[in-house]
Each structure stands twice: as structure tokens, then as C-alpha cells.
Amino acid sequence: MSAFFTIVTVSYKHAWALTKTARSVFRQREADFEYVIVDGNSEDGTRELTDFWKQAGQVDQSIHEPDSGVYDAMNKALDLATGQYLCFMNSGDVFAADDVLTKAKAFLQAGGHDGCMGWGQLGDNVWASWQTGEAFKMASLGFCHQALFVRTDLLRQNRFDARRHKTDSDTLQLGRFYENGADIQIVPDVWAIRGAEPGISANLDKTRTSILDTLTSEYADLDTEPASAIIEFRRKCTHVRDILDLLRTANDRVRSHLAYTVLDTLFQKQSASLRAEDVRALRMACKAALEANWGDAENRLLEAQAKRIHLISDQRRAKRELKEETQTFATQEDTRISRIEVPAPRETYPAYQIGLTSFPARISTLHFVIRSLLKQSAKPESIHLFLGRDEIPNANWLPSQLRAFEASGLVLHFVDSTRHQYDKFTHTEHFDPERPYVIVDDDVIYQPYSMERLLSGHLKHPNTVIGNRCHMMSLSADGAIGPYRDWQREARTQDPSFNLVPTGAGGVLYPPGFFSGGSVTNTSEILRYAPYADDVWLKFNALAKGIPTFATELSSGSEWYHRYTPTMRAGTLMAENVELGLNDIQIAQCAAWLTEQKPDWRSLLQASELERA
């Protein structure tokens, strides 16, 4: 029996963005879907990541071959899809919530519709779709294809225009659906969040060429000059006189479609540049062009505006509440810090560096983490923060409280594309291989003695991974690793052990040279074996190098941290790794990988188990 939904992700050289999209897909509570990945033969780890998901039983079908562009790839997906309804959630994009498929299924089943579309969001901008009709050919009308679900057979009958110069084939296709009488309804709720990575529509010159082609092809009476005026009005709210002339003199079809386009443009931010008298003139011209449909159009638009305002108001309220919580947190931390008398180090410790990464949802509270690291009894030589430009373009996007720490040893690194948690250690050119390197998390306030405990352990056991928080693997008699849920949490032993697994949350010190040689920074292998579990990947690389782990005394309770930041739950991997069983899948994948590298590696675990006994 076919699935209710087919979710398709088209990707090309966006492997790390694909990890984010796949997480979003598999978090959906509605399980009645198949997942299809269409990759343009990337050589960036996309194939390896897809293989990981196939091994995990989550990706049903995939293609890895050259294509002529995104719409060619989307057409290929149509031939693979078996679900009744299809949604294109392309690389870097995510569902806005875990219940989007549940809501879409309930709506489609209740009404027997050909499709439905929710709203989309990019940053603070919400695409609030409000009009259904053929006018989509002329402009997007706030359309977000990641929030669109359409009958698969209908999509096959109306394939995407895959010519290389086309960038608006999705809106053209939607317009043709309505032209042919399709029943695709709007659900006024944000269902999709666009990735920050620029898509094909970001190329304004190419997009202009594509839309100009659509306008002059689909509207026989539109010449290049008036079509260009429509594009410029849509983009910049210029050429008002030309638009008013068209609304008065064009044929009924053009006037009607243009009226919807103008009304939607007045709904967008760029309309703020228009004079009040121009707005009034445009609305009156739209009213005359739509005639009997004016009342319905105006009501739809006003209703969408009201719901959009309410939605944005809720989001702003949540931001205010987080800001208030953060201010309270700051006051508490200021009081705590003022009372701390940082003791002098008990020993002379080697110079060391700290590495961490973060992302937009946590960046507002990251300065608390950095301050706790600078308040250590054994101070770091430098703290290296890695940020992806696809999420945080430059330092101007950072809070002033965070940038203030640059004078105290914080070093900012903006990498072209985020590798998420793996940014902490895969950019090895930025740290000294002759010094210990400590990895920390971006949501933990560390005790003032946390780093000293790691360094003290390093002096005692120099060629060992040192963790302030470690788990103990469970083992069967033959050395097989037991399920993650059976591992002993926050464990320690008197001596280094191969069975201890350090977790980045507590801070982990890696000895000099650990990240040199071997596969530890090989991103293709990371994506193939452990795309969501950096702690697991690093542990198996330590086993490959024959390096055990030592847990400090902080690992026997909750002393390994002071508290979490207010944004701790944002973007956590816990749901996928634990609830979806990804930890066990990634452990099994890494174990298979290590068996190829070091066939007798299980003897290390068995020996440590005997010593512990």
C-alpha cells in the first residue's frame, strides 16, 4: 500500500544543509510517508549521508546522477514517488513544527482536496498566502513551495518547466493547476521555514529573465516593456504610472491577474516606499479591475493580514519572554560571577585552546558560556568560535556582549557553510596541533574549575582523552556494545578506560596530535557513519588510535556544569538521537567502520571491562 505523503529533498553540494532537512523530516509525528532524495551527483558527502539514512531505514529511494538543474531533479522525483500527495522540502529547508504532516493529512482527508498549502517563513518574513487562482503565473503571491502538498498524479500531469533559464517554474506550475480547475486550498499557518542558503531565485538577473519569459509567453498581449514594469513594481514598487495604465487598459485577464499581484505587493515590506496617494490610486484601480471579485479578494487579503499580524505578534512575544528570561539569567550570573574568587591553579598547566560552535537560536545567550570559560582558574590561551556564514553571515550579526570578548581571547571564524556540531574540530588549520584542544558546548555555563580538572587529568594521563562527563558503555560477553539506553550515565573509573565515552557538554580535552591523521576530520566519513553524533564519532576515532578515556571526578554527579543557558533546548539533537534511536544506529555504523580499520578493536573494550571487574 502506498504512503499518504512522498517528501522529496532535492540537493546539490549541500550535504550539511541536508542533515538539517532530514532531521526535520524524521521528527514528523505523522509516520505515513516515504522519503526520496534526489542528488545531482554531488561529491561533498551527500551520497554518504543518504547511505546513512538508508541504512537506518529512513530514506526509501534516492538518485545520485547529474541533472540540468533543480526543476529537472524535481521532475525525476515525480517518477519515483509512490505517495498520494507530494511535498518538495529541499536541502536546507525544514518543517516549522513536528506536526505539519499530521495537520496536512487531516486537512486533505477531511476535504478531499487536490492539495493544500500552508505559509512559509524566512527570518522574520512570513509568506502569507491568501489568494488561490491562475494569477500565480504573474507573481508568487506569497507562495512557499516547501509548504505545498499536491496530488502526485496531478504533478505528473503538469511537470516543472526544466529549461536552464527558468527560476519560477514552481509558481508557473501552481498557476496552471488553478487554470485547470485544481482544488488547492490555503491553510493560514506557518508550515515551512526556508533555509538561509540562497536558492536559484537569489540570482536577480536570471530570475528577471525567467519571469519575463513567463509573462510574455503566458500573456500574449504583454510586450517586454509592460512585462518589465510589472517585474520592477513587484520588486521595488517603481513604475506606478505604468501599472495604473495596465490596470485600466489591458485585457480582462491581465487586469485581473495584475490586480492580485498589486494587492499582494501592497501587502509586502517594499510597499512602504510608496506614497499614500499612490496606494489609494492602485487600490481603486484594482477594485475596478476585479469588479465583482473585489469584495472576496479584499476580505481574503485583510483576513490574511490579520492572521499574519497575530502570528508575528506571538513570535515577538516569545522573543520578549526569552529576552526577559535572559535578563533575569544575566542578573543571576552577574551576582554569581561577582562572588567567585577564582583560585590560583594548583599546578602549572600547559597552554591549551578551546573550540565550540553555535547557531542563530542560541547566539543571544552564548556570551554567558564564553564568560564562564574566561573565568576559569586555568585560563585558555584562546577560545575559537566557528560560525557558518549560511546562518550568521558576519560579526555584525552577533550580539555586542559576545563581540566584547574578542579583546579577551575569543577568536571568531566564519566558515562558508556550517557543519553544525562538527565545526568544533574539523577546521584544524585554526588550532595548534602541539597543544591540548578542549571541545565544549554552546549552552552550558561551566564551573570555574572545569578546565583545570581536564588539564589535571591530562598531566596524569597525557596520551588520553579527558572528560568531565562520561558515560560507560554496556557490553555483552562477546564484546558487543549494548543499547545506548543501558549505558551507565556520568560514570568514572580510577584509571583510563576504553569503555568510557566522553560527552562534549562537560568539556572534553583531546591530547596534542589527536586531530592529525586518520579519519577524525574526514567529513565524507562523518556524514556516512555519524552525521548527528560527534561524541560517538570522536570516541570511535579514539579507539582507532588506541587512545583510552579518563573521567575526572566531576563525572560522578552533576558538578560538571553550573547550569544551562535559557536557549538550551533550541536545536537540541536529543530528540533524534534518543527518540529515533539514532545513537544506536550511529554506534553500530561506527563499529562497522572501525572493524574495517582495526579488526581486533573489541579486545580493547573487553580488557577494560576485565580491569573494571
Domain of 157, CATH number, reads 3.90.550.10
CB–CB of 55/581 below 8 Å?
A: no
Q: Which residues of 407-432 are buried (b: 16+ CB within 10 A; e: fewer)?
A: eebbbbeebebbbbbbbbbbbeeebe
* pLDDT in the model for residue 203: 67
Q: Is 34 exposed, middle or buried (0-12, 13-18, 19+ CB in 10 A)?
A: buried
What is the Cα–Cα distance from 90 to 240, expressed in whole angstroms?
36
Answer yes or no: do 287 and 353 share one domain: no
What is the Cα–Cα distance from 469 to 444, expressed in whole angstroms?
12
44 — phi, psi (to 5°)?
A: -115, 10
Provide the CB-side half-sphere exposure for 138 (13 A, CA): 29
Number of domains in the chain: 2
CB–CB of 135/260 below 8 Å?
A: yes
* pLDDT in the model for residue 339: 80
Provide the CB-side half-sphere exposure for 447 (13 A, CA): 17
CB–CB of 87/564 below 8 Å?
A: no
**571 is written with which cell numbers?**
536545536
Q: Is 29 within a domain?
A: yes
* pLDDT in the model for residue 495: 94
Domain holding 355, by residue range, is 340-612
Instruction: Say which DSSP state 33 is in.
Output: E
* pLDDT in the model for residue 280: 96
* pLDDT in the model for residue 201: 57
* pLDDT in the model for residue 574: 53
Answer yes or no: do 356 and 216 share one domain: no
Answer yes or no: do 248 and 364 share one domain: no
Q: Is 216 within a domain?
A: yes
Residue 421 CA to its chain's centroid (Å)? 12
Q: Is 139 within a domain?
A: yes
Answer yes or no: do 299 and 427 share one domain: no
Provide the CB-side half-sphere exposure for 531 (13 A, CA): 25
CB–CB of 173/109 below 8 Å?
A: no
Answer yes or no: do 360 and 256 share one domain: no
What is the Cα–Cα distance from 532 to 582, expressed in whole angstroms?
8
Q: What pLDDT digit, counting tens, does each position of 427-452 carry?
A: 988 888 899 999 999 999 999 999 99
pTM of the model: 0.89
Q: Is 314 within a domain?
A: no
User: How do strand 437-439 and strand 353-357 relate by DSSP bridges?
Assistant: parallel
Answer yes or no: do 272 and 405 share one domain: no
Residues 6+ apart with CB under 8 A from 57: none
| Local mean pLDDT, 10-residue blocks, the chain (613 residues) | 92 92 91 95 93 89 93 95 96 94 96 94 88 89 89 95 90 94 96 77 79 93 93 94 96 96 91 94 96 94 93 91 89 84 80 96 94 94 95 94 96 94 92 93 94 96 97 85 92 94 96 92 94 95 96 89 83 56 89 93 85 69
Answer yes or no: do 282 and 367 share one domain: no
Residue type, 344: A
Task: Look up cell 576515532; give the residue.
Answer: 541
Q: Is 240 within a domain?
A: yes
User: How do strand 61-64 and strand 549-551 relate by DSSP bridges?
Assistant: unpaired
Answer yes or no: do 300 and 346 share one domain: no
Residue type, 318: A
Q: Which residues of 293-329 are buried (b: 16+ CB within 10 A; e: fewer)?
A: ebeebeebbeebeebbeebeeeeeeeeeebeeebeeb
Answer yes or no: do 263 and 388 share one domain: no
What is the Cα–Cα distance from 558 to 506, expressed in whole angstroms?
10
Answer yes or no: do 495 and 595 share one domain: yes
* pLDDT in the model for residue 561: 86
Q: Is 332 within a domain?
A: no
What is the Cα–Cα distance from 144 to 191, expressed in whole angstroms?
9
What is the Cα–Cα distance from 264 to 301, expressed in whole angstroms?
8
Q: Is 319 within a domain?
A: no
* pLDDT in the model for residue 149: 98
Answer yes or no: do 68 and 181 share one domain: yes
- Let me know how long the chain is: 613
Tell me which of 309, 324, 359 is where a domain ends.
309
Tell me which of 260, 286, 309 is where a domain ends.
309
Q: Is 185 within a domain?
A: yes
Tell me which of 309, 328, 360 is where a domain ends.
309
Answer yes or no: do 344 and 305 share one domain: no
The H or E element spanning position 599 is: none
